[in-house]
Amino acid sequence: MLSLILDNADLYDASASHNGKLASIWNIFYHFFISNEDLALVREQSSRLLSCSESTEKWEESPYSLIKFVSLQTIEEVRKIWTKYAEVKTAPNQQRYDTARRLEIKKVYDGTYGKGGTSTTLYAGTHWEKGLPTMNRGLRGYWSTGVAGGIEADVAALGSNRMGLSNPLFMVCSLSETFIVHYTSVCILSEFLLSQHNVSQTVRYWK
């Protein structure tokens, strides 16, 4: 989905911090579960990529040609994943799919953080001791709600049921048809937590 960033490069400035498209891109990159609108964007972009990659010639003429494939086999394998990203499921099938993924994620949570497991504090550096409670709170929030950090506003944005839909970027891979993200994954810690530990109200972000 790097192509989404390429397509929307003009939005990345200070004045666009609350742009709806940018919010969707953030959600797609970081949340296990996303809204209907976010999922529609994934499907739309995946369909565009499938169209652009119908042949090597067509890819070279596309806006994404700076992304290079090492072989025809690579293109074929990536297209299989894009096809799954673009798939539109019926409502009952989507519900069954989401339920199965939630159970898999809950199993990971129950077997680790639900039993009192803690996160690593790699990204906090010398602030590791002070950062441990904050990181654990954010990591548990991530795995229990499906949104990075378990932030309330992001949970509410999933829809009236506060559950959302499975994000294909985390659910689909070439190795397995089940959810296989490692339990230590919390992909935004390195982005901001170190700076958060340099202010007095460290926990404010996670509330």
Strand segments, DSSP code E, in 28-156 are 33-34
pLDDT tens, residue by residue, 32-52:
999 999 999 999 999 999 999
Query: What's the pLDDT score for residue 180?
Result: 84
- Which of 88-102, 140-154, 175-189 is predicted least confidently? 175-189
In this prediction, residues 4-14 reach a mean pLDDT of 56
Q: Are 68 and 60 in contact (CB under 8 A)?
A: no
Angle CA 120–152–204, to nearest 5: 60
Please state the pTM of the whole predicted model: 0.80
Query: What's the pLDDT score for residue 32?
Result: 95
Distance separating the N- and C-terminal Cα atoms of the chain: 30
pLDDT tens, residue by residue, 117-148:
666 555 566 666 776 777 777 788 888 999 98
Angle CA 158–64–77, to nearest 5: 75
Helix (H) or strand (E) holding 165: strand 165-166
Angle CA 34–178–120, to nearest 5: 75
Query: What's the pLDDT score for residue 42?
Result: 93
pLDDT of 152 over the 70 cut = yes
Choose between 113 and 200: higher pLDDT.
113
Rounded distance between C-alpha atoms, residue 150 and residue 140, angstroms: 8
